Amino acid sequence: MLNVARWLAKQGLEQYAEAFAENAIDDEVLRTLSGDDLKEIGVKALGHRKKLLAAIALLSGEPATTRAAEGSRRRTVEPSGVPERRQLTVMFVDLVGSTELSARLDPEDMGTVIRAYQDCCAEVVERWDGHVAKYMGDGVLVYFGYPQAHEDEAERAISAGLAIIDALAGLATPAGKTLAARVGIATGLVMVGELIGVGAAQEETVVGETPNLAARLQGLAGPGTVVISRRTRRLVGDLFELTDLGPQRLKGFAEPLTAWRVEGKGRAEGRFEDQAPDRYRPPGRPEHLG
């Protein structure tokens, strides 16, 4: 039987032990708690609630898909399972220094870090109406334009990439090191939507060079930066401040491809100008994970 007080102390949140005891939160109840439950018993800090939910997920043996991401999937259009030709903007996010972190942290602590990172990405992607297609350890593959399509997918993807980087800067690991990500974004025609696999392993396939290009561009990005393809750059015009990185030789591509690094929001008036204070504000930024 899990000792809840000791469990809270391990999370660095022993100050809530009395509140958990007063509300008769034992091992069995603990595994069923939601964010609203935590708020009700007095866990007011968003960062503390997120940390507790991530740790509870580990106790409950939930899959890598986080509760936030699952909620996002339920609220968006579901994939049809029928392949179709679409222009897609693909974003690939990679957590910086995860190998080093895994060598320094206890596996349970590392699991908490990964879940918090995935939650952060899922929240931002949901805000911009993207679709988390796949979690790959410390990588996150995101589609803008499928299954739900908008006319401004490139804008949404870049805005989401910048917001993820901003939000991750507010997270810290149990070792005291803040998190950072590299983001690559590419736009192109693909065949998307065919479902492969069964059960929890089922996923949508995307056929085309765009996902590979996004992954290669992510490799060009420095920690805390977003790098985009030429087609993505054409679609956003002057909505963002960009630095031309010139022709780049990328593995798997015969010819050098031009890439741009996103420096921030540009001066041009975009579609979301009226909502800018809300749309560009990163999600809740937990101060510490452990």
Task: Answer yes or no: are the C-beta atoms of 236 and 262 closer than 8 Å.
Answer: no
Q: How many other CB atoms are there within 10 angstroms of residue 9's CB atom?
A: 14
Return the CATH architecture of domain 4-60: Orthogonal Bundle (1.10)
- 115-140 confidence digits (pLDDT tens): 889 999 999 999 999 999 889 889 99
- 23-38 confidence digits (pLDDT tens): 989 888 888 888 888 9
Burial of 46 (0-12, 13-18, 19+ CB in 10 A): middle
Quick check: 76 pLDDT over 60? no
Calculate the dihedral angle through the C-alpha atoms of 137, 73, 132, 88, rounding to the nearest 10 degrees: 160
- pLDDT score of 207: 83
- pLDDT score of 194: 64
Q: What is the DSSP letter of 222?
A: P
User: Between 107-127 and 46-60, two packed helices, what is the crossing angle to 10 degrees?
Assistant: 120
- 147-172 confidence digits (pLDDT tens): 888 889 999 999 999 999 999 988 87
Question: Is the CATH code 3.30.70.1230 the one for domain 77-279?
Answer: yes
Q: Where are the domains of the chain?
A: 4-60, 77-279
Q: How confident is the model at residue 276 (pLDDT cuts 50, 70, 90)?
A: very low
Quick check: 44 pLDDT over 90? no
Kindly calculate the radius of gyration of the chain based on its CA atoms and give it in whole angstroms.
20
- 88-117 confidence digits (pLDDT tens): 999 999 999 888 888 888 888 888 889 889
Burial of 78 (0-12, 13-18, 19+ CB in 10 A): exposed
Q: Kindly report the pTM of this predicted structure.
A: 0.66
Q: Are strands 131-136 and 181-196 parallel, antiparallel or unpaired?
A: unpaired
Task: Answer yes or no: are the C-beta atoms of 161 and 93 closer than 8 Å.
Answer: yes
Q: Residue 197 has which token pair?
A: 């696999």
Q: How confident is the model at residue 51 (pLDDT cuts 50, 70, 90)?
A: confident
- 221-272 confidence digits (pLDDT tens): 999 999 999 999 999 999 999 999 999 999 989 999 999 999 998 765 555 4
